[in-house]
Amino acid sequence: MTRRGRAAAAAACLLAAAALAGCAPPLRPLGPLSQVLQQAGVNHAPSLSGRWLALISGRQGREQVLMIHLQSRRPVPLPGLNRPDAQPVSVSVDDAGEQLALVRQLDGRTELALYRRSTQSLQRLPIDPPGVPQQVALSADGRVLAVQVSRGGLWGVDLIELP
Amino acid sequence: MNSQGRGQTRPLRWAILVFAPPLAVWLSGCGPGLRRRPAPSTGLGPEARQEPALSGDGRLLASLVERDGRTTVLLQERLSGRVIPLRQLQRHQPHSSPSLSWNGRYLALLVQRGTRRLAVVEDRATGRLHPLPLPGDLEPQRLSLSSDGQRLALQLVQAGQRRVDLFDLSGLLEPDRAPGQRLGGSAPEGAGGAAGP
């Protein structure tokens, strides 16, 4: 085999190996936003929708729900949502940035709630039949909630249609 | 009670009949118009189901179920329960953290690749599976795909420290927008709500 043939065969082998391994260039974080997120504290449980990122952010031993407007890279105020005695567990935001669904622990119980930003109101949503919510997902159009609920030691999913 | 007394109680009865039902709803914390549906059956009787995710339009539900002892993502139509086959996601269990784009074209989730977790996106329109490797020793724990499929938020762990980072997928995936949505915009035209910061 000629030198050019060997080089072509080696290149073909490398390409085949990369394809089988599912090789792709590594993802690169969006730099300026990542800086904002690192400054916010230790973050987890992200929910991305439209121009909004909601997450749970911890600083100095206290966790709270944070909502960041992606274009301005700034957190927006959420009056009436975060409480020093509440521990957020899961959060989900809709595309308009109007509704935030939330699972939180408060007074020794775990509850599901819906926060509306335009009215700064927090509405508790009862789990029926009773159960313990763990994780919530809000559809981007803000019309449906899917909630992971524990009942009798079994995880299930409740679907709630919002008005 | 005389006839005058009965006349005075009649408006009170009407007031109770008119206002009691909405008051009861309000006190129960439900709010008007809240409707509940059980999640559609998986076809295997009562079984555990975790980590639900909805498409942006609420039409599709992804969740995790046990299949042959392996945690596997299941995609269904929310109302009918019809199971939608996922060509590329029969392997690489356990699956975790599913997330759907607006019309459900893209399903992002974490899969097992060897000893590591890997974020992937299945494009249901083309049948392609896009692996999303991370630089260095970053390990993904949870993800959220934006409704248009153009960004990915990843909860990562590096050297035991948890954090969230955002990644741009616009060079990899076509947008999957809501019908009537502006090019370059995020909210559907005419959409209400608190769109501004």
Distance of CA A55 to the CA centre of its chain: 6
Residue B186 has pLDDT above 50, yes or no: no
Task: Please give the residue that has the higher pLDDT: either A30 or A92.
Answer: A92
Find out whether A54 and A60 touch, Cβ atoms under 8 Å: no
Q: Would A145 be classed as within a structural domain?
A: yes
Q: Among A94, A99, A139, whose Cβ lies nearest the Cβ of B55?
A: A139
Inform me whether the C-beta atom of residue A38 falls under 8 Å from chain B C-beta atoms.
Answer: yes
Domain carrying residue A140: 30-161
Angstroms from B95 CA to nearest CA on chain A? 16
Contact list in B for residue A24 (CB cut-off 8 A) is 130-133
| CATH of residue A135 | 2.120.10.30
Angstroms from B47 CA to nearest CA on chain A? 8
Inform me whether the C-beta atom of residue B66 falls under 8 Å from chain A C-beta atoms.
Answer: no
Find out whether A97 and A84 touch, Cβ atoms under 8 Å: no
* Residues A161, B37: C-beta atoms closer than 8 Å: yes
CATH of domain B50-168: 2.120.10.30
Question: What are the angstrom distances between the C-alpha of B74 and each of A49, B42, B50, B144, B176?
Answer: 22, 8, 10, 17, 20
Q: Would A7 be classed as within a structural domain?
A: no
Least confidently predicted of B40-49, B64-73, B140-149: B40-49
Q: Would A94 be classed as within a structural domain?
A: yes
Place of tokens 């910061």: B197
Interface size A-B, in CB pairs within 8 Å, comes to 205
Task: Supply the pLDDT for residue A2.
Answer: 60
* Domain chopping of chain B, boundaries: 50-168
Place of tokens 């993904």: B140
* Residues A144, B35: C-beta atoms closer than 8 Å: no
Residue A11 has pLDDT above 90, yes or no: no
DSSP assignment of chain B: --HHHHHHHHHHHHHHHHHHHHHHHHHTT--TT-EEEEPPP-SSSS---EEEEE-TTS-EEEEEEEETTEEEEEEEETTT-PBPP-TT-SSSPPPEEEEE-TTS-EEEEEEEETTEEEEEEEETTTTEEEEE--STT-EEEEEEE-TTSSEEEEEEEETTEEEEEEEE-TTTS---PPTTBPTT-SSBTT--S----
What percent of chain A has pLDDT above 70? Answer: 86
Counting the structural domains of chain A, the total is 1
Confidence of residue B107 (pLDDT cuts 50, 70, 90): very high
Closest alpha carbon within chain A to B56: A140
Q: Residues 4..33 of A with a Cβ closer than 8 Å to B: which? A: 22-30, 33
Of B145, B111, B130, B119, whose CA–CA distance to A24 is shortest?
B130
Inform me whether the C-beta atom of residue A140 falls under 8 Å from chain B C-beta atoms.
Answer: yes
Task: Please give the residue that has the higher pLDDT: either A128 or A12.
Answer: A128
CA distance B164 to B157: 9
Contact list in B for residue A45 (CB cut-off 8 A) is 142, 155
